[in-house]
Amino acid sequence: MPSLIPHQRTSARQAAEIAVPATRSAPAGPVAGAVLVEARTLTAPGGDRCALFALVLAMRRRAEDHSGHLEEVHFSDEGDRARTVSRWRSAEELRTFVEQAHDDLLDYRAGSGAFPTVERTLWWAPADTEVTAAEADRRAGHLRACGPGPYAFTLASPVPRPADRGVS
C-alpha cells in the first residue's frame, strides 16, 4: 500500500489539527474476551515537528481504515513526540498494520533525513475495561526495566492471547 504522507510539508496549523482525538467510535458489535492494547510513542530525531506530525496523521488514517483496529483510546501531542494508545483485535492484525505503514516511514525518512524513534508496548486487556494513559506509562516503564513478559511485551516478543477474561 502506498504511503499516506502528503508530499508537501505539513504546516503548523495542520500539525495542531492532528492533536484532535480520532473520531472513530468503538467497533460495531461487542468484542468478547481479550483485546490487544498498543501504546505507541513516535519521537522526531532533531525535533522536526512538521515531518513527525505528517507521519502521525498518516498512521492514524491508516489505522482507522484497518479492519483489525478497534479504536484509539488516547492521543497526546507532546511537542517532539506523539503518543497513541489503541485497541486491536490481534497481534497479527497489528503486525499487518506495521508492515503497511513501512512506506509512511520511508517517506518520513526521505523528507526529514532520519527515521523516527518508535516505542511500542503491548498487553492484553479485557475488551470491556477502560485503558488509561497512566496504565500505558506503567506498562512501558515495566517493559523498559524488566523486558517482555505477560504484563508488557512487543511484536518481537509476543505473548499469546489469554484464555480467560481475567487478564493481568
Residue range 90-115, pLDDT digits in tens? 999 999 999 999 888 888 888 888 88
Mean local confidence (pLDDT), 156-160: 94
- pLDDT recorded at residue 50: 82
Q: What is the pLDDT of residue 23?
A: 40
- Would you state the pLDDT for residue 151? 97
User: What is the reported pTM?
Assistant: 0.81
| Residue 53 near residue 11, CB atoms below 8 Å | no
DSSP state of 92: H
Residue 4, pLDDT > 70, answer no
DSSP assigned state of 45: G
Q: Look at residues 57, 64, 62 and name the one whose alpha carbon lies nearest to residue 72.
A: 64
Q: Which long-range contacts (CB under 8 A, 24 or more apart) does 128-136 make?
A: 128/30, 130/73, 131/37, 131/73, 131/74, 131/85, 131/87, 132/74, 133/74, 133/76, 133/83, 133/85, 136/37, 136/39, 136/74, 136/83, 136/85
Cell of 144: 523498559
**Averaged pLDDT of the chain:** 82
Residue 8 has pLDDT above 70, yes or no: no
What are the tens digits of pLDDT across the range 115-128?
Answer: 888 999 999 999 98
Task: Give the list of residues 6+ apart from residue 85 with CB closer than 8 angstroms, or none.
Answer: 37, 38, 39, 40, 72, 73, 74, 75, 131, 133, 136
Average pLDDT value for residue range 49-63 = 88
pLDDT given for residue 29 in this prediction: 47
Query: For residue 7, what pLDDT is reported?
Result: 45
Share of the chain above pLDDT 70, in %: 78
Question: Mean pLDDT, to the nearest integer, of 61-89?
Answer: 93
Residues 6+ apart with CB under 8 A from 84: 38, 39, 40, 41, 56, 59, 60, 72, 74, 75
Looking up cell 497489528 gives 94
Are 120 and 38 contacting, i.e. CB atoms less than 8 angstroms apart?
yes
Of 51-55, 65-69, 146-150, minimum mean pLDDT range? 51-55
The predicted pLDDT at position 71 comes to: 95
The span from the CA of 19 to the CA of 145, in Å, is 29
At residue 30, the pLDDT reads 54
